[in-house]
Amino acid sequence: MSRACRCLGKLAETVGSRLAVYFEDGKLVCLMFSAGLTPAVLEAVWDCCYYCEPACGPLQSRLLDTVASILQEATSCKTLTSPEQQVHRPRTLSVMSAGSAALEAQASSAVLAMKALVSFGPYDPRVKPFLCDTVLRCLDHQHPLVRKMAATTITKLLLPVDLPDDGSRERKSSFSDETPTTEVSSDSADLQPSRGRQIVLCKPHHIEAISRVVQRLLVLAVADTDPDIRFSVFDGIDRRFDPFLSDRVCIAAITQALNDESLIVRKAAVKLLGRLCHHNPAYVLPALRKLLIQLLTELEYNHADRGGEEAAELLCDLLSKAGSHMSPYVFAVVEAVVSKLCRPEPISPRYTSLLLEALGQLSDISGQAILSSGLIDDILQLLVDNVQDTRSGGEGDQAAQWDKKREVTYRTLSRVVENTGLVVVPYEKHPPLLPYIIEFLRADAQHSAHTAVRRQAIRAIGTLGALDPTRFDALKQIASIPVMDSSGSGQPYQLFHDSRPVPTGATATQSTVLAVSHSHHAGAAAVTPAEHPPFEGKASTAAAAAPYACCGFTASIAAGMDLQQQ
C-alpha cells in the first residue's frame, strides 16, 4: 500500500490537475485510506493537494475525518491517566503485555494524526475545534509521546504566527519526523513586547478560551513526570503567548518551574520569565530577584563544579533575557563573579567560561556601573590572565572546553572594553597583552581547529584600539623584562623572539622610563593615559584607532587575511 501511495504522489507531480477527474467519485480517496492513516498515505495526500488543487477538498475532508476518529479513540476513558480509570485494570502478565502493545500502536497513530493536523497550519479554521476538544484531552494520555505531541500541536496551532514579508505561506508536502511549519523564533525578539497585530481576537470569549488552554499547558509543564515533556512545553511557548502569560496565575505557575529537578527545564523557565519581565515587571521581577539571590549564594558557597556550573549557566540566561531590568544589581553580581574567579582553588574551564560570559553580559547591561564599581582593574587582570593561559586538556571534550574558554575570554575582553570605553588602557596596564595576542595569531595560523579563537582574538585587537609603532616597541621591550622573584633569581619572560638585547639589570620602572624616553628620542611624542582619558559610553573602535598609526592592528589584519584563506 505504501508503494502505491508513493506512486500516486509521483503521478500527481507528473500530470498535475489532469488527475483530478479520478477523485470526483470518491473511490480513489476511499482506497487511499482503506489501510488507515500511515506516513505514506499522508505523503500522497499532500502531494496530490499540492500538484492537483481540485483534489484538495475531498482529500482534506477525508483526512480530517480520519484524524478525528483516531483522536477520539485515543482520548477514550481507557487511555486517560485519571486514577478512577485505572482501578479495575487486569494485572496478569499476558494481558498487561498485550495492552502495552496496543497502547504503543494507538500512541503512534495518535502522534501521526496530530502531525497531520499541524500541517494544516494555524490559519485553517477547521483545526480550531480539534484543539479545544480532542487534542486538549490528549494532554492526559498515558503515553508520553502523545502528551508531548499534543502540547506541540496546541502551541503551533492555537495562535497565528508571523507571515513572510510577501504575505504568502508555503504549503508543506512532506511528513517527516519533524513536520516543517512556520514558527516564530523566540530568541529574535525576546526583549521586545509582542505586537498587537500578531494576535487577532474578535470576541471576548476567544480570550477566555485561549487563556484556559494556556493555563492547562502550564499545568502540564509543571506537573508532568517526564522532563522532556516539561521542557517541550516551555520551549514551544514563544512570544505570541506573552499577553496571556503575563497574567498573575500564569507567572506563579512558571515560577514553580524554577525549582525543577531538570536543568533544561529551569533554563527554559528562566528565559520565559526574563522575556515576560518586559511585559509585567511588577509580578515577574520579585521572582527574578529571589532567583538572583539563590544563584549568587550558589556561586559563593557551592564548591562543586557541577552545581556552580548550573548556577552560572542560569545566571547567564537570566542576564541575557532580563536585560536592563537587571541593571540595579550589576554591582552585586560583578562582585560575586569576580570573587569566584579570584579564588585560589581551581575550577573547570567550562565553569570559567560561564563566569566570563556573565561578565560580558553585565558589561552589556551597564558598562558605566562596572567602570564605577572599582573592580575594573581586577576584571582586566582576570581577562589578561585567562588570555595568557596556554593550558590545554589534550584531546577530545577537555580540549574543546579549553578552546571555548579562550574564545569566551577574548569575546568578553572585547565587550568589556567596548561598553566601558577603556580603549588602549589594557595595553598600557598590561604591556605583555598585545605582543602575546599577535604572537598567538602568528604561531597559530596553521591550526584550523582554533579558527573561532583566532577570530575573537582579531576582534579583540580591533576593539582595544591601535598603538603608535614606537609605543608598540616600548610595550614589547617592557614585556621582555626579566621576571624576578623575592630572592632576586628568575628567568626573562620573552613573548617575542626579538633581536634587540633585553635589559637584564633594569627594574620594571626603569625599563618603562627607558622605553618611553626612547620613543621621545625617536621623534614621536609618547602618549600617556592621562592625556587620553577613557571614552565615555560605548567605545567606537574606528574613532579610538584614528589618532594612531596602526602597528599591532596591521598585524591583526594580516592574521585575519590568513584566517579567510583557510
Phi, psi of 80 (to 5 degrees): -85, 160
141 bridge partner residues: 80
Which range marks the domain in which residue 501 is found? Answer: 463-484+492-565
Q: Is residue 406 part of a domain?
A: no
482 bridge partner residues: 492
Closest to 552 in 3D by CA, of 477, 490, 455, 467: 467
Name the domain count of the chain: 2
492 bridge partner residues: 482
Question: Which residues make Cβ contacts (< 8 Å) with residue 345, sequence separation at least 6?
Answer: 303
What 8-state DSSP symbol labels residue 258?
G
Question: In angstroms, what CA-CA distances link 34 with 21, 49, 173?
Answer: 20, 19, 21
Which one of 128, 158, 188 terminates a domain?
A: 158
Q: Is residue 357 part of a domain?
A: no
Sign of CA dihedral 471, 472, 477, 482: positive
Which one of 158, 174, 205 terminates a domain?
A: 158
Q: What is the pLDDT tens value at each position of the chain, 566 positions in all?
A: 778 888 888 888 888 888 888 888 888 888 888 888 888 888 888 888 888 888 888 899 999 999 999 999 888 755 666 544 444 445 454 444 555 778 888 899 999 999 999 999 888 889 988 888 899 999 999 999 999 999 999 999 998 875 444 444 444 444 433 443 333 344 444 444 444 344 444 466 778 888 999 999 999 999 999 999 999 999 999 999 998 999 899 999 999 999 999 999 999 999 999 999 999 999 999 999 999 999 999 999 887 788 999 999 999 999 999 999 999 999 999 999 999 999 988 889 999 999 999 999 999 999 999 999 899 999 999 999 999 988 876 677 888 899 999 999 999 999 999 999 999 999 989 988 988 998 889 887 766 667 899 999 999 999 998 887 887 777 777 766 544 333 444 444 433 333 333 333 333 333 333 333 333 333 333 333 344 344 344 444 333 333 333 444 444 444 444 444 55
Question: In angstroms, what CA-CA distances link 391 with 348, 349, 400, 401, 476?
Answer: 12, 10, 12, 11, 23
Q: Is residue 295 part of a domain?
A: no
Q: Is residue 267 part of a domain?
A: no
80 bridge partner residues: 141
Query: At what angle are helices 56-74 and 39-51 packed, to 10 degrees?
Result: 150
Could you tell me if 295 and 315 are in contact, meaning their C-beta atoms sit under 8 angstroms apart?
yes
Could you tell me if 220 and 151 are in contact, meaning their C-beta atoms sit under 8 angstroms apart?
yes
Residue 165, all three cell numbers: 514579508
Phi, psi of 315 (to 5 degrees): -65, -40
Q: SS3 sequence, 356-394?
A: HHHHHHHHHHCHHHHHCCCCHHHHHHHHHHHHCCCCCCC
Q: Is residue 111 part of a domain?
A: yes
pTM here is: 0.75
- The C-alpha atoms of residue 296 and residue 177 are separated, in whole angstroms, by 41
Q: Is residue 6 part of a domain?
A: yes
DSSP string, 410-473: HHHHHHHHHHHT--SHHHHH-TTHHHHHHHHHHHTTT-GGGHHHHHHHHHHHHHH----HHHHH
Sign of CA dihedral 360, 364, 366, 372: positive
Which one of 120, 135, 158 terminates a domain?
A: 158
Could you tell me if 527 and 468 are in contact, meaning their C-beta atoms sit under 8 angstroms apart?
yes
- The C-alpha atoms of residue 388 and residue 405 are separated, in whole angstroms, by 12
Q: Is residue 297 part of a domain?
A: no
Q: Is residue 534 part of a domain?
A: yes
